[in-house]
A and B are shown apart, each in its own frame.
Chain A
Amino acid sequence: MAADEPVIAVSDLTRRFGARTALSSVTLRIPRGGVYGLVGANGAGKTTLIRHLLGLLRAEEGSVRVFGLDPVADPVGVLSRIGYLSEENDLPGWMRVDELIRYSRAFYPAWDDAYAEELRTRFALDPAAKIGTLSKGQKARAGLVVALAYRPELLVLDEPSSGLDPIVRRDILGAVLRTIADEGRTVLFSSHLLEEVEQVADHVTMIRQGEIVLSAPLQEVRDAHGGASLDEIFVERIGSA
């Protein structure tokens, strides 16, 4: 992959579920480095777009490339470089935290044991605790440990802090900031908690009913709207939907 090639390149992506159009001619290019906030109301198409990036949905129309690769045709090449934390947090409830770490480590040659242990300790996760017995916040932390421990080139967070308390949200944002600190890495962060996106994102993409209505650097967006907050811009561009 060339240095100037975008990490994510989506072209004219359209996806329909029955009669409903979930994504309509979405085009998006995300270059290497930085934090990209993907914002939109519930059902706007954020998760559908992210699932295409992970290869969990096949592009019916248009194309999706991550690191220059098709995530459906080459899941190993793409997924081994992505850290992913989903809103659903479907970690296997029967695993213990240490088993989850041990299991996940087998898939990533770049796994950093010391970093994983550091994250686990910082998040106060008991290695003997079963995932199924953890609170929602603890599950999110466990998911974050295994998404970060191999220092992925691209971190994809799909509504990671939805329904979580401020402390867990702070942990997640901290992890995002730390990722940014590691040169050259990219974060794609979907959320409807706009103050969160405002805190860490340097580029924002707004999506409404499957269409991208705005995609620009955050400062540029603010300047264009007379220094308004992201909340106000969101209400103006999306709230009318």
Chain B
Amino acid sequence: MRTPAAAIAWEFGQRHRRGLMALLASVVVLGAIRIAVLTTEPHPELGDLTFALLVPVPFAATFLYLLAVFTFGISGDIAARESMYPPRMFTLPVSTAALAGWPMLYGSAAMMLLWFAMRVAAIFPSGAAVPMYWPALFAASLLAWTQALTWMPYPFRGMRIVISIALLISIDVVVFTALATRPRESTMCLLLSPLLPLAYVTALSAVGRARRSDVPNWRTRATPAVTSSAPQRDFRSQAHAQLWFEWRQFGRTLPLLVAIVLPAALSMLFLFHETDAIVIEIVLSSLLLPSFLAIFVAATAGKTSANASDSYGITPFLATRPVDDRAIVVAKWRAAALSTIVTWMIVGVAVPIALVASHATEPIVDIARNVTDALGRPRAIVVGLLILAGLIASTWKQLVQGLCIAMSGRDGAVKGIAFATLVALTAGFFALGWILNSRVRMAVAWYAIPWLMAMFVALKLVLATEIMRRGFARGLFNRTQLIIGAIVWDVCVFAVYGVLVLVLPEILVRRHTLLLVAMLFVPLVRLAATPLAVARNRHR
């Protein structure tokens, strides 16, 4: 490496080689799926069915990944006043322009390449005129502005989050408002082209200020410094203190990610608002987004330090708190619940606003009307609320069930699980599309489902028994807690079963299948395994 540019590129490549290889592999998989679909008989409905899950979801995931890579990681304290640019690089004998410019150039190039790869490899709805250049420019601009805003020092805590969300949403709104006028691609490119140089100038200023430790502090100007450590309020208990710690540490991540990604996803409504199927897919994707992003957030939720970007080991600071292993886990679960509630408040506000603003409410209203006609108003309302409750519960479940991996301290397992999940989701939805495409396959799958589910339930119960036996042997659970846990799980299973019975007539799904569904839905193994993972990590 003879130049700083090559050294910076090498660092990105070397540090994230596995992730980048995985990203490349996912594009190759998408391409393979496209070839498989396009070279066999026509599947006009397959494109529509799988569009949301084969294009926006992997694209959003890879977008977030590249965002983390090229901003030098968003796992730090995103609310901090200080720049998130790594201070170690400030002492390199290179100009500030190079420090700001090369990562931005590499990031922008990576985003453009990602779009072009998606454009070539992914399946788009038949008949949709998918533009070539402006989305690449748009993605690169979003990344460049995120870099600039991430590297900027701010006068007060939390300002980065507010400004980032406001600015990124503004860019989205301007672009998609422009799209509503059906402009030519060249017009869109012209509209977007100033964003990149402007982001660079902002980043240059941000890195320059960070390099000379120029962190504005509004307190020194506006108010006298606090001189007493007298607390504003006491924590009522250890549990409250630990909940506060977890909320500050990771609880805000999911709402923040959803607030960033959701506007981008919903802005597609402005583009496709006349195609009912795509409107429905976008809304469904938006509703699934919290659960989906929670899978990835769960990996960072397991970290015990915002600074330890490479390690999932429990920090001595946390490990030496005089609390038992269960208390550490329970605080994570409670913070996850809070995070879920805040996230769904954002979704609950953003989706209706986007639907109304883009004039895309009609297909959703039609669905609601059809369901009401079929089930009657009270039952339709109950079904709607149950689906919403299920989605919210699923978000929490995704946040906490990954903790048993993330809190085990095994870095390889943590990094592998996110990619494996993405692959499994993509493959699963493709398989679903393939099955739904043939009546014979559907019939076979329909009869096999209960048996497969029974197998998974048996596996789940065996694993749960073993985990609880080990937890009992290590003193993590006592007999009473195990009995109470089993009762609570049974009650939850029967509650879900009861709801399913209420909603789904027996002629559609057998009762025993519903019971199996409930048993699979209510988490057990991974929740029970989390205290064991913490104990292993804390007392190595």
Interface centre among A73, A75, A95 (most CB of B within 10 A): A75
A42 in contact (CB, < 8 A) = no
* Contact (A132, B82) CB under 8 Å given A58-B540, A106-B237: yes
Which residues does chain B contribute within 8 Å of A125, judged by CB atoms? 229
Which label, helix, strand, loop or mixed, suits the secondary structure of the A interface?
loop
Instruction: Tell which of B89-97, B264-272, B318-326 binds the partner.
Output: B318-326
B241 adjacent to A76 (CB under 8 Å): no
- Please indicate the chain B residues that have their CB under 8 angstroms from the CB of A127 in the complex: 226-229
User: Are A92 and B249 in contact (CB-based, < 8 A)?
Assistant: yes
- Inter-chain contacts of B240 with A (CB < 8 A): 106
Chain A residue with minimal CB distance to B239?
Answer: A106
Task: Give every chain A residue within 8 A of B80 (Cβ-Cβ).
Answer: 94, 130, 132
B241 lies within 8 A of A133 (CB): no
Task: Give A70 to B234 CA distance when docked, in angstroms.
Answer: 31
In the complex, B225 has a CB within 8 A of chain A: yes
Within 8 Å of chain B (Cβ to Cβ): is A162? no
A73 to B219, CA, bound (A): 46
Contacting residue for A128 out of B225, B320, B475, CB 8 A = B225
In the complex, what's the smallest C-beta–C-beta distance from A94 to chain B, in angstroms?
4
**Please, how many angstroms separate the alpha-carbon atoms of A98 and B231 in the complex?**
7
B residues near A80, Cβ cutoff 8 Å: 322
CA A126 to CA B325, docked complex, whole Å: 33
A102-B231, A102-B235, A116-B229 given; A56·B540 CB < 8 A: yes
Is B305 an interface residue when CB atoms closer than 8 A count as contact?
A: yes
Contact A105 B317 (CB under 8 A): no
Complex contacts, B244 vs chain A, CB 8 Å: 103
A55 contacts which chain B residues (CB < 8 A)?
Answer: 319, 538-539
- Complexed CA–CA distance, A116 and B320 (Å): 19
Measured CA separation A46–B316 after assembly (Å): 15
A98–B315 contact, CB under 8 A?
Answer: no
Closest to A81 in B: B322
Closest to B536 in A: A58
Question: Bound state CA distance, A126 and B220, in angstroms?
Answer: 13
Residues of chain A with a CB closer than 8 A to B306's CB? 92-94
Nearest A residue to B215, CB-CB = A133
B238 at the interface (CB under 8 A from A): yes
- Of the candidate stretches A82-90, A195-203, A219-227, the one touching chain B is A82-90
Check: B248 CB closer than 8 A to any chain A CB: yes
User: Is the pair A103, B226 in contact by a Cβ cutoff of 8 Å?
Assistant: no
Q: Is the interface of B mostly helix, strand, loop or mixed?
A: loop
| Per-residue A-contact encoding for B75-99, CB less than 8 Å = 1, 0 else | 0010111100000000000000000
How many interface residues does A have (CB within 8 Å)?
Answer: 42
A65 CB–B CB distance under 8 Å:
no
Q: Given A56-B538, A93-B306 in contact, is the A86-B322 Cβ separation under 8 Å?
A: no
Knowing A56-B320, A94-B80, the reply to whether A75 touches B325 (Cβ < 8 A) is yes
Those of B300-347 within 8 Å (CB) of chain A: 305-307, 315-317, 319-325
Chain B residue at minimal CB-CB distance from A93: B307
B245 sits at the interface (CB 8 A): yes
How far does the Cβ of A88 sit from chain B's closest Cβ, in whole Å?
Answer: 6
How far is A176 from B229 in the complex, measured between Cα atoms in Å? 23
Partner of B316, one of A75, A88, A106, A133: A88
Q: Which of B248, B319, B325 contacts A56 (CB 8 A)?
A: B319
Enumerate chain B residues within 8 angstroms of A105, measured Cβ to Cβ.
231, 234-235
CA distance A84 to B241 in the complex (A): 19
- Identify A90's interface contact among B231, B248, B317, CB under 8 A: B317
B225 contacts across to A, CB distance below 8 A: 126, 128
Given A73-B475, A127-B227, A132-B77: A56 and B539 within 8 A (CB)?
yes
CB of A54 within 8 A of CB of B235, answer: no
Further pairs besides A55-B538, A94-B248: 20, Cβ < 8 Å? A54-B319, A55-B319, A56-B320, A56-B538, A57-B539, A72-B539, A79-B320, A79-B321, A94-B79, A95-B248, A98-B226, A98-B231, A103-B241, A103-B245, A106-B237, A106-B238, A107-B241, A117-B230, A120-B229, A130-B80
Closest 9 CB pairs of A and B: A106-B241, A80-B322, A79-B322, A127-B229, A106-B235, A94-B77, A128-B226, A102-B231, A72-B539
List B residues at the A interface (Cβ < 8 Å). Answer: 77, 79-82, 219, 225-232, 234-235, 237-238, 240-242, 244-245, 248-249, 305-307, 315-317, 319-325, 475, 538-540
Mind listing 11 A-B residue pairs with CB under 8 Å?
Answer: A54-B320, A90-B305, A92-B306, A93-B307, A98-B226, A102-B231, A105-B234, A107-B321, A108-B322, A120-B229, A126-B227
